[in-house]
Amino acid sequence: MNLKRSNLCLSADVTNARELLSVADKIGPSIVVLKTHYDLIVGWDYHPQTGTGARLGAIARKHGFLIFEDRKFGDIGNTVQLQYTSGTARIIDWAHITNVNMIPGKAAVNSLAEAAEKWKSRLNYEVRTSVTVGTPLGDNFDDNSSEDGRPQPPAKETLPTGYSTDHNGRKSSIVSVNLTQSYEPVDSPRFVNGIPEGDELLFPGIEEPPYHRGLLILAQMSTQGNFMDEKYTKACVEAAREHKDFVMGFIAQETLNSESSDNFVTMTPGCQLPPEGEDENAAVEGDGKGQQYNTPSKLVGLGGSDIIIVGRGILQADDPQTEARRYQKRAWQAYLERTGQS
C-alpha cells in the first residue's frame, strides 16, 4: 500500500476472460488488490502455466497488486479444501487471497489453513514420474495370484495389461506397466510456479511475488437485510485470532481490531463517490438491488476500513482509468488522515 500509495481494490465484475485481462492491465497501476469471480468468466483458460490465472499473475507482478478470488467458501471442511486446491480452477495456485463464509463454523477456516500449509510445503518440490513397461517374469506374475490360481491386481502402481486366454485356455502375452510418482526437491528455492520463463516485468520494489496465501473472513456485508449479526461477527474474529498466520483480515463495514494484538486488514465493499464536482460527503444512493453505498471518507476515515472495494463505480465510468485514479486519491488521503500521516 505504501509503495503504491493506494488502498484501492477493484472488483472486476466482468464476464469474459479477454475483458478481465484488459481491465486488470489498464486499472492495475491504481490498485493494490484485484477481486475476481472466476466462475463468472466465459472463456476462462484453466491451464496452470498459460491459462487465465497465470496471465493474471503476470499482470499482477507487472503492476504490483494481489489477486483476490471472491469465492466465499461455505461448506464442510473436506469440501472447501478440495474446492480450494483441486478441480478445474485450482484457486490456490493463482489467487493470493480468498475468503470464507463462516456460516458452517470454524472447521472451514481450519481446513483452508491446513490446505494452504500443505500447498506451501510443496512449492519447492516437483513431481517426478517414472513409467516402466515390460513383460514380467513368470515367478513375479505368479506372486500376484491367489491360492486358487486366479490373477489378482498387482500391488500399488503395477498394472498388468493385455492378459487374456485363447480358445485353448493358453495365456497370451502379458505386459506390465509400472507408474511411480514422488516429490523431489528442486535445486532453486525460488517460487518456480510464480514467475513463468520470460516474465521479466516486475513492479519496482517487489522482487518476487508472495508465495504465502491469505484468507479473508466474511464478517459483515453491505447488503440491506443481511443476516450477519453481532454473534456471527464475534465468531469470525475468534476464528481469525486462532489462525493469525493465515487469516489476514475481514470483509467488513468497520474495523474489527479490538485487542492490542489485533492487526487484521479490513476490506470494505459498497464504496462509491458522487460525480466529480459534487459534495463527496453527501449521501450516495444504493443500486436498487440491496447494495448500500458509502464514500471513501466515511468507510476509511470514520469506519476504520483499510482497503475499499469498488466495482461498478469504476468499470461503468466514461473513463475507468481516470475514475480509478480519483478513487485511489480520495481513499488514500482518507487513510493518511486517519493514521496521522497526512
**What is the architecture, at CATH level 2, of domain 8-122+195-338?**
Alpha-Beta Barrel (3.20)
Note the pLDDT of residue 254: 96
**128 - beta bridge partners?**
182
Q: What's the number of CA atoms in the CB half-sphere (13 Å) around residue 73?
A: 31
- How is residue 316 written as a grid cell? 461503468
How far apart are alpha carbons 240 and 38 in whole angstroms?
25
Average pLDDT for the chain = 84
Report which secondary-structure segment, H or E, holds 266.
strand 265-268
pTM of the entire structure?
0.78
Alpha carbons within 13 angstroms on the beta-carbon side of residue 116 total 22
Give the model's pLDDT for residue 165. 53
Annotated ligand binding at 328? The verdict is no
| Residues 81/110, Cβ–Cβ less than 8 Å | no
Structure confidence at residue 184 (pLDDT): 56
Look at residue 325 in the predicted model and tell me its pLDDT.
Answer: 98
The cell numbers describing 57, all together, are: 499473475
Catalytic residue numbers, as ranges: 70, 72, 75
- Give ranges for CATH 3.20.20.70 in the chain: 8-122+195-338
312 is in an annotated binding site: yes
Q: Alpha-carbon distance 70 to 91, whole Å?
A: 10
| Per-residue pLDDT at 195 | 44
Flag whether 305 is marked binding: no
Q: Is 311 annotated as a binding residue?
A: yes
**pLDDT-flagged residues of the chain (< 50):** 139-159, 163, 186-198
